[in-house]
Structure 1
Amino acid sequence: MVQVTMKELLEAGVHFGHQVRRWNPKMKEYIFGERNGIYIIDLQKTQRMFRDAIAFVTNAIAEDRGKTVLFVGTKRQAQDAVREEAERCGQFHVNQRWLGGLLTNFQTVQKSIKRLKDLEAMQTDGRYEKLTKKERIKLDRERESLNKNLSGIKSMNRLPDVVFIIDVRKEEIAVAEANRLGIPIVAVVDTNCSPEGIDYVIPGNDDALRAVRLFASRIADAILEGQQIATEGGVAAQTEADETAAGEAAPAVESAGAEQPVAPAETEAADTVEKLETSNGSEVGNAASPAPKPAKSNAAANEGAETVVAAN
């Protein structure tokens, strides 16, 4: 499981909150104390709650590798970290401006995404060359605007399963939309924010670059670990299914063989093979070699027949 140490939290400055006069009383339980007019966040609670958030993300992805996480962080300090970490784990991100209705009016957003893809296709298939200079400039501006806001969700064809947010105060619209749709939220919550509506609160500094990078990187690591678990689980499930199918096929072969009369020696050899298949599948190849037994039994049967004829 992805871990986060107290040393990492301290070095990243996660414990530094906002000025005392800018606090939100709803964050009181996560505050350790005050120093030089700044609230200090209780890192023991941060570490525990961060681990809970990591475990939730890992398990969510492990249950279904197709689940997606949307990284949201539009403030300047979070833009690069959100984009880089989301791309590293193959997820989606919004790091410029949250478009109102991005979640609650997703069908309209998809139309904008389609428009962006059409404009990009026009550049590659030669249609741009047939336009006037004025028309090209107009379309370029439209494409740049759409790409700026939608590049991180261009391939997102359905609503995300989890939303990870840096600074819930700035991204309050994203929080409201996710809550309305019942999408779980994992978020970094500073001392000037409200933890209400957040499913997995991570009390911490949402302004320091190193702190933001630490939070985003650990969530990305949790996603990658969940994907690995899902892949390994899928292989194990497929192996188990193959073994089950092989076990079901064996009785069918046995029943088909029972329709034809066979010599006692051949029946005995078949029983031996079946027992070996049941006890150890790797010995089936060796068990298939008792071909001489049926030959000896047939010879013995012929000798018996000659004896009966001679007696008559």
Structure 2
Amino acid sequence: MQVEKNTRMSVENLFKSGAHFGYSRSRRHPSVKPFIYGVKNRVQIINLEKTAEQLAAALEFVKKLGAESKTILFVGNKPEAERPIQTVADMTRMPYVTERWLGGTLTNWSEMKKRIARMRDLKEKREKGELSMYTKKERGNIDKEIGKLERYFGGLDRLEKLPHALFVVDSEHESIAVKEAKDSRIPVVSISSVDCNINKVAYPVVANDASRESINYIAHQIAHAYLEGRKEAVIPEAVSA
């Protein structure tokens, strides 16, 4: 899969992925009204031509991030989002969150860094066999602690400082992450369905955020845009000693 250069092709692929399906009208947020094409079987249909325009803007932004070697934090803990999010994070070697967003991940980053450092330290000691001095019970407790830390912080192991942007699946579901990003002046790219307030997001892509196929397609477009940018990154010439 490559980044779509052609708007028509982008619309076709969005349609194939089911990105046009929204929710019932009763769940619609006023901010997405211009993006509704119509209603079919009580389900709002999203105007994919407008979605394609939004996606193109998001891809341009992400490509620039790649060219500048900036960090994107991928976020999505809905069941449909977990696998696509982890896949694209691994593709781009970026950090990710697929568990419940922990309050303070961005706004209390200094404390989060300590938890990540603790996880790294315990894992390193275990790999080096330095935990053998502890009793079997103590080692068991340490293993449990490592497991818990990995569950919530494993995806953040690649994050050394606050990210330059967030990519979020369902900005309403991940409202705490979106708010923390805003408070931290970090731009957000999101897949947002018709129930989301897209005014809270810098680069919203109005599309089905409850379909793995839709999420997978858009997330991979984001990943490929970032990787394209990385290829174009300007590498400073080495300064001879």
Give the structure 1 partner of residue 232 of structure 2.
229
Do structure 1's residue 141 and structure 2's residue 147 form an aligned pair?
A: no
What's the TM-score, normalizing by structure 1? 0.72
Within 2, Cα distance between the matches of 1:226 and 1:213?
A: 20
Within 2, Cα distance between the matches of 1:120 and 1:201?
A: 38
Give the structure 2 partner of residue 268 of structure 1.
none
Give the root-mean-square deviation of aligned CA atoms. Answer: 1.7
- The one-letter code sitting in structure 2 at the alignment partner of 1:74 is N
Do structure 1's residue 31 and structure 2's residue 36 form an aligned pair?
A: yes
Gaps of 5+ in 2: none
- The one-letter code sitting in structure 2 at the alignment partner of 1:36 is N
Shift of residue 202, structure 1, vs aligned partner: 0.3
Instruction: Summarize the alignment of residues 159-178 of structure 1 with structure 2, pairs less than 5 Å apart.
Output: 159-178=162-181
The alpha-carbon distance between structure 1 residues 50 and 125, as it changes in their structure 2 partners (threshold 3 A), is: same
Gaps of 5+ in 1: 243-312
Do structure 1's residue 129 and structure 2's residue 132 form an aligned pair?
A: yes
| SS of equivalent to 1:193 | coil
Within 2, Cα distance between the matches of 1:146 and 1:11?
A: 38
Q: Is 2:65–2:71's contact at 8 Å kept on the other side of the alignment? A: no
| SS of equivalent to 2:149 | helix
Give the structure 2 partner of residue 198 of structure 1.
201
Within 2, Cα distance between the matches of 1:6 and 1:104?
A: 37
- The one-letter code sitting in structure 1 at the alignment partner of 2:212 is L
**Higher relative contact order by CA 8 Å / sep ≥ 6: 1 or 2?**
2
| SS of equivalent to 2:103 | coil
Within 2, Cα distance between the matches of 1:38 and 1:28?
A: 14
> What do the CA deviations read for 1:171-229 (whole angstroms, capped 9, x no partner)?
00000000011111111110111112200110000011100001110110011001000
Give the structure 2 partner of residue 60 of structure 1.
65
The alpha-carbon distance between structure 1 residues 238 and 134, as it changes in their structure 2 partners (threshold 3 A), is: closer
Shift of residue 43, structure 1, vs aligned partner: 0.4
- The one-letter code sitting in structure 1 at the alignment partner of 2:158 is S
Do structure 1's residue 186 and structure 2's residue 207 form an aligned pair?
A: no
Within 1, Cα distance between the matches of 2:114 and 2:74?
A: 21
Within 1, Cα distance between the matches of 2:145 and 2:89?
A: 25
Q: Is 2:84–2:219's contact at 8 Å kept on the other side of the alignment? A: yes
> Higher helix fraction: Structure 1 or Structure 2?
1
Q: Is 2:94–2:158's contact at 8 Å kept on the other side of the alignment? A: no
Within 1, Cα distance between the matches of 2:53 and 2:178?
A: 23
Within 1, Cα distance between the matches of 2:11 and 2:180?
A: 33
What's the TM-score, normalizing by structure 2? 0.93
Which has the greater radius of gyration? 1
Q: Percent identity between the aligned chains? A: 34
Bigger mean CA offset, 69-78 vs 3-12: 3-12
| SS of equivalent to 2:96 | strand
Shift of residue 97, structure 1, vs aligned partner: 1.6
Within 1, Cα distance between the matches of 2:3 and 2:195?
A: 28
